[in-house]
Amino acid sequence: MRRQRNAKIIATLGPASSSKEAIQALFEAGADVFRFNFSHGSHEDHKKRYDTVREVEQIVGRPIAILADLQGPKLRIGPFADGKIMLTAGSEFTLDRDTAPGTPQRVCLPHPELFEVIAPGHSLLLDDGKLRLEVLASDGKSIRTRVVTGGPLSDRKGVNVPDAILPIPVLTEKDRRDLEFALSLGVECVALSFVQRPEDLIEAREIIGDRANLMTKLEKPQAMDCIDEIVRLSDSVMVARGDLGVEMPPERVPGAQKRILRACRLHGKPSIVATQMLESMIVSPTPTRAEASDVASAIYDGADAVMLSAESASGAYPVQAVSMMDRIIREVEKDPLYRNLIDAQHEGPLPNRGDAICAALRSVSQIIGATATVTYTTSGHTSLRAARERPTAPIVSITPRLSTARRLAFVWGVHSTVSPDIHSVDEMVEAACKTAVREGFAKPGDQIAITAGMPFAQPGTTNLLRIAEISA
């Protein structure tokens, strides 16, 4: 099944989309990757969904990727004696280490590590940013604040600290259990929350090894100060605009999104834009015009993929939401302005053989009017570098590894196929031509551009470029 677009769609599975019929309908509507949200559901739930996705994969005959999204640390206040209080702007309110139930004057903050980094002038955001407190003083045992934005506050609401790097491990005990379980299933990618610094990726990378790709969710403003290094150390990056928009002023989020996408393009790492993309479709069969424009803007900016959350997991119209996203992407990619913008954002090749060959692949395919660019890859690296170039012709990726084919489901423009190893250039050209025809990318008389590495089947050896004509 060939997609008539380059950007990919990630759909979250949940109560509204866990049956085989629902998952197959989502794939046929346009979903390329399915996200498992480990903030919700049991391991048994996720195992059932995993098995169902693999069953659907067999039915549709296309590689499907699965993303395990870890919950990450959740900072929360303690409970109140009466379950709820009202904070009034201008009043003082204290967060302390006393585990007694809260009152209108104070509440427990059961995260002792925060007391060491909070300083006067910092802001504390409660309940997804609905309430804002300004820190007046902190002595290591209590944090005295003034209420800037008041409102109702109930038990165990979340706390965000936008002005400090928090000394908190990125992986909680729950995350470690979930990570090992997800890896035992065989997921293609793991998304890591709460990343503030490049060092935050070390533990997860050591645990994961080469069993899956590591996706960094950029949701902390502090991460923007070292964005290039974080992107370089990640396999892919998600712009998690929900949490990012809580800790960062809303007017700064669009600029941050563009910076992240640009850094991903520079380093050749897939970028995903997420959160509230078609939010109204949770309850409505059609999106708002602003939501359609939001999805379109992410595509114009060069995102590799866009993601649906509650729209497909628990909404009333999951298939319609995927179909709408598919239609928006295809409409944008038909616009001549889209190609102009993609070319204007083009980054020059990095000084290595793979980038040099893939830059030539882009030029050659455009000059000869190739109907497809064919990449032979074992690890997926060649196809990733080809996608970084954003060629005008679709990228047909051929790999002997099903795991590689699945991982490439995140990547712009890549149509991935699985085929046995090749052993000669002639065999490579013949297989490339047959695959391009079989998958619907070429017909007799068309020309294709092919890249591979020699010796064959050795990762990281991209060094060969060929042009071939499809014979009758």
CA atoms of 255 and 258, how far apart (whole Å)? 5
Token reading at 358: 């893939």
187 domain residue, yes or no: yes
pLDDT value at position 460? 66
CATH number for the domain including 442? 3.40.1380.20
Tell me: do 174 and 227 sit in the same domain. yes
201 domain residue, yes or no: yes
- Sign for the pseudo-dihedral over CA of 293, 298, 301, 305: negative
Say whether 20 is catalytic: no
427-462 tens-digit pLDDT? 999 999 999 999 999 999 999 999 988 777 677 678
Tell me: do 232 and 322 sit in the same domain. yes
| pTM for the predicted model, two decimal places | 0.94
Angle (deg, nearest 10), helices 336-344 and 289-300: 50
The SS3 call for residue 109 is coil
342 domain residue, yes or no: no
Task: Considering the candidates 217, 269, 362, 406, report the single residue annotated as catalytic.
Answer: 217
Alpha helices in 335-424 (DSSP H): 336-344, 353-368, 381-388, 402-407
CA atoms of 147 and 412, how far apart (whole Å)? 46
* Alpha carbon 224 to chain centroid, angstroms: 16
Tell me: do 38 and 102 sit in the same domain. no
pLDDT value at position 453? 80
Tell me: do 423 and 318 sit in the same domain. no
Range of the domain at 144: 84-160
Q: Which of 271, 302, 334 is the last residue of a domain?
A: 334
348 domain residue, yes or no: no
Tell me: do 92 and 214 sit in the same domain. no
Q: Which of 74, 127, 80, 76 is nearest to 100 (CA)?
A: 80
319 domain residue, yes or no: yes
Peptide bond just before 167 cis, omega within 30 deg: no
Tell me: do 202 and 135 sit in the same domain. no
Q: What is the largest CA-CA distance in the chain?
A: 82
Domain count, the chain: 3
CA-based radius of gyration for the chain: 24
Tell me: do 307 and 442 sit in the same domain. no
pLDDT value at position 463? 82
212 domain residue, yes or no: yes
Task: Considering the candidates 8, 35, 241, 406, report the single residue annotated as catalytic.
Answer: 35
Q: Which of 307, 334, 361 is the last residue of a domain?
A: 334
Tell me: do 62 and 136 sit in the same domain. no
Q: Residues of the chain whose pLDDT is less than 50?
A: none
Tell me: do 464 and 429 sit in the same domain. yes
197 domain residue, yes or no: yes
CATH number for the domain including 151? 2.40.33.10
Q: What does 184-212 look like in DSSP terms, one character per residue? A: HHT-SEEEE----SGGGGHHHHHHHTTSS
Q: Is 269 exposed, middle or buried (0-12, 13-18, 19+ CB in 10 A)?
A: buried
Task: Considering the candidates 12, 275, 373, 462, report the single residue annotated as catalytic.
Answer: 275
Tell me: do 373 and 314 sit in the same domain. no
CA atoms of 111 and 394, how far apart (whole Å)? 50
CATH number for the domain including 221? 3.20.20.60
The Cβ-side half-sphere exposure at 48, using a 13 Å CA radius, reads: 12
Say whether 275 is catalytic: yes
341 domain residue, yes or no: no
Tell me: do 242 and 94 sit in the same domain. no
User: CB 439: neighbour CB atoms within 10 A?
Assistant: 19
Task: Considering the candidates 48, 76, 176, 211, report the single residue annotated as catalytic.
Answer: 76
Q: Which of 334, 363, 387 is the last residue of a domain?
A: 334
Tell me: do 329 and 201 sit in the same domain. yes
Residue 369: C-alpha distances to residues 29, 366, 463 (Å): 30, 5, 22
User: CB 28: neighbour CB atoms within 10 A?
Assistant: 14
Say whether 327 is catalytic: no
